[in-house]
Amino acid sequence: MSVVTVQDVSKIFGTGHTAVTAVNHVSLEVEAGDIVLVMGPSGSGKTSLLSMIGTLMSPTTGRILISGQDTSTLAPAQLSRLRLREFGFVFQTFNLLSALTAEENVMLPLLTAGMHRKPAQAKARSALEQLQLGHRLRSLPRDLSGGEKQRVAIARSLANDPRLILADEPTANLDARTGQDVTLLLCETACRENRAVIIVSHDQRLRTAAKRVITIDDGRLTTEENGEHTLNCRIHGGAGLS
């Protein structure tokens, strides 16, 4: 069963002569372990598509199924539980809470899901240590570099063991070396833990992690090609990123 099924989805903003079609009859399937990079110019509809897949916005027409469940049939509270259980979000601007430490930011979705504090703390620490942030557990976001903030955000996105990671321009605020590190981390996370990953970005470097590269233009999916994943994923015998 697909993790994500997008069936003939469109998104129209406004009405009448002011209506703008942001996403135009898009269909897409994403399986567990897949890494899909969606590329396109600003205003092409890629962020609107990601927002609909993440149930942050409803399609005007068409359906989106997550693990076979039609999201259009779910009430707001059910959608919130679905996002908490099935999705991990990684944002361009990190979206860390400034008053919380790195450890507390990663603990937050675990506590929200009902986990007790001690196991949530242990799991958060383990996630941060795996991302080489064990020495930053008690650091506030203002004391972290851009790359460290993004790794905390990735640890938080993985905290509840989601089946699907949605990443919106995850390397946009990072330098070249740190961007490569984050790219490789997303790649290896998908493969090691059999998670589906959808990334929207302008960053051509992300092709090195992707299994599939899809171009969207004027709201339509126009091309699909293979990414460079097998050349670079160390889990699959690749050389890593240089």
The C-alpha atoms of residue 213 and residue 20 are separated, in whole angstroms, by 25
The tens place of each residue's pLDDT in the chain, 242 residues long, gives 699 999 999 999 998 889 999 999 999 999 999 999 999 998 899 999 999 999 999 999 999 999 999 999 999 999 999 999 899 999 888 999 999 999 999 999 999 989 999 999 999 999 899 888 999 999 999 999 998 998 999 999 988 889 999 999 888 888 888 888 888 888 888 888 889 999 999 888 889 889 999 999 999 999 999 998 888 777 766 655 54
The pTM of the full predicted model, rounded to 2 decimals, is 0.90
Question: Which of 177, 2, 151, 29 lies closest to 90 in space, CA to CA?
Answer: 151
Question: What residues contact 32, with CB distance under 8 A and at least 6 apart?
Answer: 3, 163, 194, 195, 196
Q: 34-45+74-236 sits in which CATH class?
A: alpha beta
What local confidence, expressed as pLDDT, does residue 134 receive?
93
| Other Cβ atoms closer than 10 A to 30 | 19
What local confidence, expressed as pLDDT, does residue 27 receive?
97
Contact between residue 160 and residue 169 where contact means Cβ atoms under 8 Å apart:
no
The C-alpha atoms of residue 92 and residue 83 are separated, in whole angstroms, by 19
The C-alpha atoms of residue 201 and residue 204 are separated, in whole angstroms, by 8
Query: SS3 of 31, please?
Result: coil
Contact between residue 26 and residue 60 where contact means Cβ atoms under 8 Å apart:
no
